[in-house]
Amino acid sequence: MTGRFGRQPTGWGSRLLARLSLGAKSLAGQVFALQAVIVVLLISAAAVALVVQAQYDSERDARHRSLAAAEAFAHAPGLAQALQSRDPTAELQPLAEGARRASGLDFVAVMSTDGIRYTDSRPELIGQRTTGDLARALAGQSFTETFTGEPSDAVRAIVPVRAADGTIVGLVGTGIEVENVSEVVEGQLPLLLGAAAGGLLLGTGGAALVSRRLRRQTRGLGAAEMTRINEHHEAVLHAVREGVLIIGVDQRLVLANDEARRLLDLTPDAEGRPVAELGLDPRTTELLASGRVVTDHVHLAGDRLLAVNVRPTQPYAGSPAGSVVTLRDSTELAALSGRAEVARGRLQLLYDAGVRIGTTLDVVRTAEELSEVAVPRFADFVTVELLEPVLHGDEPSLATRVYTEMRRAAISGVRTDSPLQPVGDVIRFVVPTAPMAAALDAGHAVLAADLHAAMGWRAQDETGTREALDYGLHSLISVPLQARGVVLGMANFWRADTPEAFDEEDLSFAEELGARAAVSIDNARRFTREHATAVTLQRSLLPRVLPDQNAVDVAHRYLPAKAGVGGDWFDVIPLPGARVALVVGDVVGHGVHAAATMGRLRTAVHNFSTLDLPPDELLGHLDELINRIDQDESGDGEDGDGASFGVAEPAGITGATCLYAVYDPVSGRCAMASAGHPGPALIHPGGDVEFPELPTGLPLGVGGMPFEATEFLLPEGSRLVLFTDGLVEDRDRDFDTGLRLLGEALARPGRSPDQACADVLTAMLFPVPDDDIALLIADTRRLEADRIAEWEVPGEASAVSRVRNAGSAQLTAWGLEDIAFPAELILSELITNAIRYGSAPVRVRLLRDRSLICEVSDGSSTSPHLRYAATTDEGGRGLFLVAQYADRWGTRYTERGKVIWAELPLTGGAEPQVPAPDLDALENLAW
**Whether 666 contacts 847, CB under 8 Å:** yes
Question: What is the spatial distance between Cα 449 and Cα 474, in angstroms, rounded to a whole number?
Answer: 7
- Count of other CB atoms within 10 angstroms of residue 312: 13
Could you give the count of Cα atoms lying within 13 Å of 151 in the half-sphere of its Cβ?
16
pLDDT value for 368: 92
Give the Å distances, CA to CA, from 575 to 60, 608, 649.
Answer: 113, 11, 36
Q: What secondary structure letter does DSSP report for 238?
A: I
pLDDT value for 647: 39
φ, ψ of residue 914 to 5 degrees: the values are -135, 150
Q: 315: cis peptide before it, omega within 30°?
A: no
346: left (phi over 0), alpha (psi -120 to 50) or beta: alpha
φ, ψ of residue 695 to 5 degrees: the values are -60, 120
Q: What secondary structure letter does DSSP report for 33?
A: H
Give the Å distances, CA to CA, from 77 to 74, 82, 315, 728.
Answer: 9, 10, 98, 126
Question: What is the spatial distance between Cα 239 and Cα 225, in angstroms, rounded to a whole number?
Answer: 20
Could you give the count of Cα atoms lying within 13 Å of 122 in the half-sphere of its Cβ?
9
Element (H, E) at 525: helix 504-541
pLDDT value for 538: 66
Cα angle value 739/745/748 (rounded, 5°): 130
What contacts 351, CB < 8 A, 6 or more positions away?
Answer: none
Buried b (16+ CB within 10 A) or exposed e, 566-587: bbbbbbbbbbbbbbbbbbbbbb
pLDDT value for 588: 81
Locate all alpha helices (DSSP H) within 690-752, ordered by sequence.
735-746
Give the Å distances, CA to CA, from 720 to 15, 210, 287.
Answer: 94, 99, 98
What contacts 682, CB < 8 A, 6 or more positions away?
Answer: 689, 690, 691, 692, 712, 714, 718, 719, 720, 721
Of 879, 833, 823, 813, the residue nearest 853 (C-alpha):
823
Question: What is the spatial distance between Cα 161 and Cα 121, in angstroms, rounded to a whole number?
Answer: 19
Average pLDDT of adjacent 10-residue blocks, the chain of 927 residues: 42 53 61 76 78 74 79 80 80 81 81 84 82 80 79 81 82 79 64 73 74 68 70 69 83 84 83 84 82 78 78 66 81 58 77 84 89 90 92 75 82 89 88 89 90 89 89 92 88 91 88 90 85 70 78 89 72 93 88 78 90 91 84 53 42 76 94 94 92 89 85 92 90 86 89 92 78 90 92 85 89 89 87 85 91 90 64 55 82 87 77 50 45
Which residues are registered as beta bridge partners of 842? 793
Q: What secondary structure letter does DSSP report for 855?
A: E
SS3 341: helix
Question: What is the spatial distance between Cα 88 and Cα 80, in angstroms, rounded to a whole number?
Answer: 10
In the chain, how many H helices and how many E strands?
23, 31
- Count of other CB atoms within 10 angstroms of residue 515: 15
Give the Å distances, CA to CA, from 349 to 1, 354, 510, 673.
Answer: 57, 9, 11, 56
pLDDT value for 632: 66
Q: Is the dihedral of CA 78, 81, 83, 89 positive or negative?
A: negative
Question: What is the spatial distance between Cα 336 and Cα 330, in angstroms, rounded to a whole number?
Answer: 10
SS3 789: strand
SS3 807: helix
SS3 680: coil
Cα angle value 586/588/592 (rounded, 5°): 95
Element (H, E) at 299: strand 294-301
Instruction: State how beta strands 669-675 and 696-697 pair.
Output: parallel
pTM: 0.53
**Whether 730 contacts 766, CB under 8 Å:** yes
Give the Å distances, CA to CA, from 417 to 129, 264, 409, 411, 468.
Answer: 130, 55, 17, 11, 11
Question: What is the spatial distance between Cα 796 and Cα 866, in angstroms, rounded to a whole number?
Answer: 24
pLDDT value for 673: 95
What is the secondary structure of 766-788 as a DSSP string? -SS-SS-EEEEEEEE----GGGE
What contacts 798, CB < 8 A, 6 or more positions away?
Answer: none
Instruction: State how beta strands 681-683 and 719-723 pair.
Output: antiparallel
Question: What is the spatial distance between Cα 643 and Cα 587, in angstroms, rounded to a whole number?
Answer: 14
Instruction: State how beta strands 681-683 and 689-690 pair.
Output: antiparallel
Q: What secondary structure letter does DSSP report for 717?
A: T
